[in-house]
Amino acid sequence: MATTKRPRRARFLLLLAVTTIVAVACAPQHLAADTKVLLIGDSLLNGTRVPVSDALEEAGWEPMIKADGGTAMTSWTNKIPLLTAAYQPGVIVIELGTNDCSPVQCVALAPHIDAIMNSIPSDHPALWLNVQEDVPSPFGENTDYVNSALEAADARWPNLYLLDLDGLMEGHPEWHAPDGLHFNDEGKEQFVRFIVDELERFKPE
Residue 70 has pLDDT above 70, yes or no: yes
In a domain, residue 3? The reply is: no
In a domain, residue 190? The reply is: yes
pLDDT at 152: 98
In a domain, residue 165? The reply is: yes
pLDDT tens across 114-126, in order?
A: 999 999 999 999 9
Domain count, the chain: 1
Residue 143 has pLDDT above 50, yes or no: yes
Residue 175 sits in a domain whose CATH number is 3.40.50.1110
Domain that holds residue 114: 31-200
Separation CA 205–CA 195 (nearest Å): 19
In a domain, residue 15? The reply is: no
pTM, rounded to two decimals: 0.85
Tell me what the mean pLDDT of segment 65-94 comes to.
96
In a domain, residue 10? The reply is: no
* Banded model confidence at residue 68, pLDDT cuts 50, 70, 90: very high
Beta partners for 106? 101
How many other C-beta atoms can be found within 10 angstroms of the C-beta atom of residue 129? 25
Separation CA 204–CA 91 (nearest Å): 10
pLDDT tens across 144-187, in order?
A: 999 999 999 999 999 999 999 999 999 999 999 999 999 999 99
Residue 11 has pLDDT above 50, yes or no: no
Q: Do 63 and 37 contact (CB within 8 A), yes or no?
A: yes
Tell me what percent of the residues of the chain surpass a pLDDT of 90.
Answer: 77
CA-based nearest residue to 65, from 168, 191, 187, 154: 191
